[in-house]
Amino acid sequence: MASFTTWDYVVFIGMLMVSAGIGIYYRFTGGKQKTTNEYLLADRNMSVWPVSFSLMASFMSAITLLGVSMENYQYGTLFVIINISYGLATPIASHLYLPVFYKLQAASAYEYLERRFGGATRLVASIAYSLQMILYMGIVLYAPALALEAVTGMSKIAAILSIGLVCTFYSTIGGMKAVLITDVFQSILMFSAVYCIIIVAAITAGGFGEIWRVAEEGGRIEFLNFDPDPTVRHTWWSLIIGGAFTYLSLYAVNQTQVQRLLTVRSLKASQGALWLNWPILSLLSFSTSFSGLAIYYYYAKCDPLLQGRITSRDQLMPIFVVDTMHEYSGLPGLFVSGIFSASLSTVSAALNSLAAVTLEDYIKPLYRYIKKRPLVESQSTLPSKIMACIYGIICVGMAFVAQSLGGVLQASLTVFGVVGGPLFGLFTLGMFNTVATQRSAITAILSGLAFSMWIGFGQPKPPVKILDFSLEGCSDARYNSTFYSFTPFSGAKSARLASVVAAEDDSDYFWLYRLSYLWYSVLGFLVTLIVGIVLGYVLKWLKLEGESRIYVDENKEFINTDLFSPPIAWRLKKRYAKYIENGGVVDDTNAKIMNEHTKL
């Protein structure tokens, strides 16, 4: 395989030094990360721009660079339609969910669930989130390891270990301020890496038009698929509906994103950061999609996987960089820096969030239970940093599991759909329904998780149909450079790989296992929400609902409207206003409605 030149290493090490330098700077300036408010929430005084870039970089890092380019190369351009769902979901996240968390002002988003339902619900949800993020971090660590293996010749094991150790060190000292500022720098590197590929391909092709023409000839251009069949991998319905639910499970209720959105000064600024994130996110998505077409132009006549030069099509972008840029010292280093730094920021941010959840949801309650007093602020930061380090080690281990999950893009969306959908359903149950209590909520989230995991990870699943590939041009010298050392696949093995392209009847497979992965989030959400609402009303009818925590008075007459989404809170307040107009009296000292004859 290829190897780095001196200038590549200079660029790569320079990126690491800048990233680490930002972390060290914020470790020894300002409050020096001595309080959890600074370490986990950046003192709540960040500006909109770095938060917007961080929202994008935290989940669209190496997954986007490798996965989306491969998606367009292997399946076509239909995936770009998912960007429409981001635009449709952004106002829902910013105006229906974010205001509730902003009023709460807690380091853990799951504190809301304790206030709304109870401590057990909070514990179940935070455990589910922790498992979800550990799985996702494994994928994020595995993705750049693929790139490093293809470009530098470094083994995946060495790459995973080196990335994991750097992330763990960085996350324990930097704090949220360093993460946010570094994300801006690393986002620039991500865009630079993608545009380097597009520009080099355009120069090779003689213009963007030629890239588009070859993509059309290869059947890669597709934007209009309205097939209502949910077993079709990508259609407008799955991309817009499924994409919107996946987006909301990330940007409306996910701890990592909510924690970022609470680092700004006001709710308006937080909503502005979320709105600004959409065009930044879509620009990277569109650019990376076109880079997939650019790569297809180069390999239209000689697919590197069938030729035997790579072991997974997630390595397409790295091998293209080596093929076309090895004569430009520094450019391969810039590309690897983009992938490496993006994953670095993603993992460090997730470790920071996992540390926040562990401190707020596990350590503090346990300490209060044992010591009979709360954990003081000055003693809270050290446990957070220790937990960040421990989670880093766990995530390294999960990275070795990630290579069995298939393509990195689909694997990441599957993980978020399976766990994110039910969690999104649980928060929705709390914010939009006044009947559900802890008993119905816990049953709902466990039912949603069980169903989602069943359809998400149940086997066997039919092989995914991919577009045609060619080997007819592999005699070209540019695909057989002595710059590499590889053994081409045998004709039989190439034939087996090519056979996946052919359409086959998958009707023998269980129907739910044939569903598009984009529906996992939707179904998990619906199962959780429906079970929660139906069971809530049944338990209320049977008078077995248990304690309801939505009331602020002993007579259960005055509802805490801060626990509900703005439209629901507005409706409740309107009912109270009408009640007072009709003669009811509200005692402001205990927020209790004093008329014994009128119940809400």
Per-residue pLDDT of the chain (600 residues; tens, 9 = 90+): 456 778 888 888 888 788 778 777 877 776 555 666 677 776 677 888 889 988 888 777 677 777 888 889 888 889 999 999 999 999 999 999 999 998 888 878 899 999 999 989 999 999 988 888 887 787 778 777 766 776 667 677 877 877 787 777 777 776 777 788 888 888 888 888 899 899 999 998 888 899 999 888 888 888 888 888 888 888 999 999 999 998 999 899 988 888 888 888 889 999 999 999 999 999 999 999 999 999 999 888 888 888 887 777 777 888 888 888 877 788 888 888 888 777 777 787 788 888 888 888 888 888 888 888 877 776 777 788 788 888 888 888 888 777 665 555 566 666 777 888 999 999 999 999 989 999 999 999 999 999 988 888 777 777 777 777 777 777 766 666 544 444 444 443 444 454 444 445 666 777 777 888 888 889 999 999 999 999 999 998 998 888 888 887 777 778 888 899 999 989 888 877 766 666 655 554 444 443 333 343
Report the pLDDT value the prediction gives residue 503, as an integer from 0 to 100. Answer: 46
Residue 29 φ/ψ, nearest 5 degrees: -125, 170
Cβ neighbors of 58 (< 8 A, separation 6 or more) are 183, 256, 257, 260, 345, 346, 349, 350
Residue 586 φ/ψ, nearest 5 degrees: -105, 125
β-pair partners for 46: 264
Report the pLDDT value the prediction gives residue 374, as an integer from 0 to 100. Answer: 79
Tokens read off for 56? 């994008």
Report the pLDDT value the prediction gives residue 88, as an integer from 0 to 100. Answer: 94
Report the pLDDT value the prediction gives residue 536, as an integer from 0 to 100. Answer: 93
- 170-to-11, 50, 178, 291, 363 alpha-carbon distances in Å: 19, 18, 9, 30, 23
Within 13 Å and on the Cβ side, how many CA atoms surround 271? 14
Report the pLDDT value the prediction gives residue 6, as an integer from 0 to 100. Answer: 81
**Three-state secondary-structure class, residue 567:** helix
CB 56 within 8 A of CB 215: no
Q: How many CB atoms lie within 10 A of CB 500?
A: 12
pTM of the model: 0.86
Report the pLDDT value the prediction gives residue 412, as an integer from 0 to 100. Answer: 63
Please state whether the peptide bond connecting residue 460 to the residue before it is cis, i.e. omega within 30 degrees of 0: yes
Distance CA 449, CA 370 (A): 31
Report the pLDDT value the prediction gives residue 30, as an integer from 0 to 100. Answer: 61
